[in-house]
Amino acid sequence: MNTQIRRVAFAVLLMFAAVFLKLNWIQLVRAEELANHPSNTRLLLKEYAIARGAILTSDNQILAQSKKTPQGELKYLRLYEQGPLFAHITGYYSVRFGRTGIERAFNSELVGKGGVITIQDLGDRLTSEGERGDDVVLSIDSRMQQAAAQALGSRRGAVVALEPSSGRIIAMYSSPNFDPNPLSQHSADGQKQAWQSLNADAAKPLLSRATGSIYAPGSTFKLVTAAAALESGRGPDTTFGDAKEYLPPQTDKPMGNFGGSTCGGDMAQALKVSCNTYFARLGAELPRGALEKTARAFGFGERPPLETTVAASRLPTGEQLKSPAFAAQSAIGQFDVAATPLQMALVAAGIGNGGNVPEPRLVIEVRDSRGKVIDQVDSKIWRQAVSSQTADTLKQMMIAVVEDGTGQAAAIGGVAIAGKTGTAQVGATGEDNLAWFVAFAPADSPKIALAVVVEGAGDPRSETGGRLAAPIAKKVLEAHRGVAGW
């Protein structure tokens, strides 16, 4: 009997010890994490007593602001003036589903807890105004965002445009999108219905295709392959004979050109017509590790240091790239290569910026309730991808693509555009194919770099990056020329 009592007592002590450890783990170790979790309803209720700061564009358009409600437990209602147009950037602020986007990344500033307290802040807290958060100003230009949305239209895909020298993102649009207002409403049932409807939508409107989806970049990745060759000592005069197919070593599956065409020549000629056989052979013959090294120098395999959530672009492993067949497929942006539109815009920006890839930014400054700037975000170089000489050589090749190659649909009279088309075959049907275009302009003094991707491009024999994505890019470039005056 005593033995059984001791066993029961020991078991009870173990259970008490487990509960004690669990409570201490929650209260001491995870306390701060849980307190600041975006889904913490108690924290959100406390925040709803504060006049949350506004989110504005660089041209002072209000994207999000809080309005006082006449009654109820929640004192302020978050309103999104522009609805879906900026939804993937601002995110939403919901008492039931937490925060996303800028609402999450800059929550401390928006509720006035960002670490800088001004005299005006103290004055507000002592008067009937109560607490008020700071305003967050984005690098996004509302005119450019509207231009990107209109250019893409009803197609699924994304447009990302940024300043090559500073990394400031001036447009970042994803389609389809969503209206964040139903998620921020005070009705619990209304929020739930909106959430369920958005998540049930097969088109995934909550997903930012600009930063959250990775796609096979197709022939736009040939820029990286060409860069790897140039950085490895291959000259732009590297020439391969005309070919309709290329059979990589260690495989019995030949690789062909678009439309069954025959092409070859030097590197510039091959890039101009986007010759698969040339770049597949070039990739297979590169020194071991060269393609991976250059791709990583442009940022592949990492998450770009943006303020909001970004997916990491993908590369095959170094072991996989030892296979000439896999290296050949990767060199034309297929196999296991995948990139976000933001990543491909950074590739274009890096080439246009003399080989230096800028650190992408969405926020340029924080202002207090009186409009005084209390914090500014400096421009930074994220990494040096290639030498200035390599960048200049690539630029000249990209100019030829637009002037006399596959990217002519992006040409603008009187200005040199540097670009590259891409068409990626994904799956067995055209529904999954992708049309790409990346560019920077003006070529000799870039003010904008961009990437366009269109999902479900259709038949790759006719619906190419040059025919679908390049005209979209042209509209965005023309809009920026009107706004920036280049």
Least Cα distance to 52 among 106, 8, 127 occurs for 106
Q: What percent of the chain has pLDDT over 70?
A: 86
Show me where the domains of the chain are located: 218-363+379-484
Confidence of residue 71 (pLDDT cuts 50, 70, 90): confident
How many Å apart are CA 160 and CA 121, to the nearest integer? 36
Among the ranges given (21-25, 69-73, 330-334), the one the predictor scored with the smallest mean pLDDT: 21-25
Count Cβ atoms within 10 A of the Cβ of residue 358 and give its class: 0-12 exposed, 13-18 middle, 19 or more buried: buried
Fold of 218-363+379-484: Beta-lactamase (3.40.710)
User: Could you say which DSSP state residue 132 is in?
Assistant: B
Least Cα distance to 259 among 430, 460, 407 occurs for 460
Q: Which residues participate in catalysis according to the annotation?
A: 219
Q: Tens digit of pLDDT for each residue in 137-158? A: 999 999 999 999 999 999 999 9
Enter the pTM of the model: 0.89
Pinpoint the alpha helices (H) of 251-383.
267-272, 276-285, 290-297, 324-331, 341-352
How many Å apart are CA 364 and CA 383, to the nearest integer? 20
How many Å apart are CA 383 and CA 211, to the nearest integer? 19
Confidence of residue 456 (pLDDT cuts 50, 70, 90): confident
Rounded to 5 degrees, φ, ψ at 473 are -60, -40
Q: How many CA atoms lie within 13 A of 252 on its CB side?
A: 0
